[in-house]
């Protein structure tokens, strides 16, 4: 049986992509499968945590014993995560949040026109950074996908967003990241210290992540 080291701890996990609608039938999104976040939610559940999983549109079924909130846009993701994070001990942001949304959303399907069109995009809020600004005792964990200067960029993100650590992964490594069942990540802290983890299943990455997060929980809980 797994160690119930997270008994009584509320854990919030975000997963999957967001969809930023341009009109009722078109959106901007990305290929996030949700597998990493679902693995974190299931691992936390099995270690005794009370888990809320906030997920964008993915094909995975609701895990048993987890409160699942299905959202589409980054703004919906923010509302659900901020709400659930209020009394959380650990928040893990695996969601691939779209950086931008349409500045205005058409209520009607946009007809094709001759020639080029321009879409005006406006930045989405950074949810992890928002949580980091009122961090309290919560342990905050992020993910980052980089094609180059990974450790440096991930450390900068951990610092700017006030996250305890970021798990860095690479979109180009075979069998890992988007859609894969395995992941090869590097744990990166704000001070630039980092550890390469071996390529293991997403479930095993989740277990290691939670072990690291549990060590950072305030002692007197
Ligand atoms: O997109 P970026 O590389 O900055 O993502 C790093 C971390 O920040 C991820 O954990 C992601 O879920 C989170 N994030 C967020 N809100 C955004 C963009 C990213 O919480 N708008």
182 is in an annotated binding site: no
127 is in an annotated binding site: yes
Instruction: Pick the more confident residue, 206 or 220.
Output: 206
Rounded to whole angstroms, the Cα distance separating 190 from 210 reads 18
Enter the tokens of residue 109: 């399907």
- Give the CA dihedral 147, 148, 154, 159, nearest 10 degrees: -130
Other CB atoms closer than 10 Å to residue 148's CB: what's the count? 7
Tell me the CA–centroid distance for residue 130 and ligand 1, in Å.
11
pLDDT tens figures, 162-184: 999 999 998 766 556 677 889 99
Q: What is the ipTM of this complex?
A: 0.97
Ligand 1 contact via 165 beta carbon (within 6 Å): no
Do 12 and 69 form a contact (C-beta atoms < 8 A)? Answer: no
Q: How far is CA 151 from the centre of its chain?
A: 18
> Helix count (H) and strand count (E) of the chain?
5, 14
Q: What angle do CA 52, 55, 61 make, to 5 degrees?
A: 90
Count of all residues that appear for the chain in the document: 221
Mutate to test the pocket of ligand 1, among 73, 125, 126, 163 (most ligand atoms within 8 A of CB): 126
Q: Is the C-alpha dihedral spanning 99, 101, 30, 73 positive or negative? A: positive
Tell me the CA–centroid distance for residue 126 and ligand 1, in Å.
6
The residue whose C-alpha atom lies closest to atom 3 belonging to ligand 1 is: 144
Ligand 1 contact via 85 beta carbon (within 6 Å): no
Say if residue 109's pLDDT is above 60: yes
Class for the domain spanning 10-99+121-215: alpha beta
Supply the pLDDT for residue 178: 72
pTM: 0.95
202 is in an annotated binding site: no
Supply the pLDDT for residue 1: 64
Tell me the CA–centroid distance for residue 1 and ligand 1, in Å.
33
SS3 124: coil
């Amino acid at each position: 049986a797994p160690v119930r080291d997270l008994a009584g701890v509320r854990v919030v996990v975000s997963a999957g992509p967001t969809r930023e609608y341009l009109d009722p039938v078109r959106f901007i999104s990305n290929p996030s499968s949700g597998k990493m976040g679902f693995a974190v939610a299931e691992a936390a559940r099995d270690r005794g945590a009370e888990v809320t999983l906030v997920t964008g549109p993915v094909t995975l079924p609701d895990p048993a014993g987890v409160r699942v909130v299905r959202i589409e846009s980054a703004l919906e993701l923010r509302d659900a995560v901020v709400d659930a994070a209020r009394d959380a001990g650990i928040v893990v942001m695996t969601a691939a949040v779209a950086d931008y949304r349409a500045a205005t959303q058409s209520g009607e399907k946009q007809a094709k026109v001759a020639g080029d069109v321009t879409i005006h995009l406006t930045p989405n809020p950074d949810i992890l950074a928002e949580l980091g600004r009122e961090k309290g005792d919560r342990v905050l964990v992020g993910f980052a996908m980089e094609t180059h200067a990974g450790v440096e960029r991930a450390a900068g993100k951990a610092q700017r967003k006030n996250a305890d650590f970021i798990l860095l992964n690479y979109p180009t490594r075979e069998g890992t990241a988007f859609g894969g069942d395995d992941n090869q990540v590097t744990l990166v802290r704000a001070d630039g210290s980092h550890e390469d983890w071996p390529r293991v299943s997403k479930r095993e990455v989740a277990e290691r992540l939670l072990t690291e997060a549990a060590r950072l929980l305030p002692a007197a809980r």
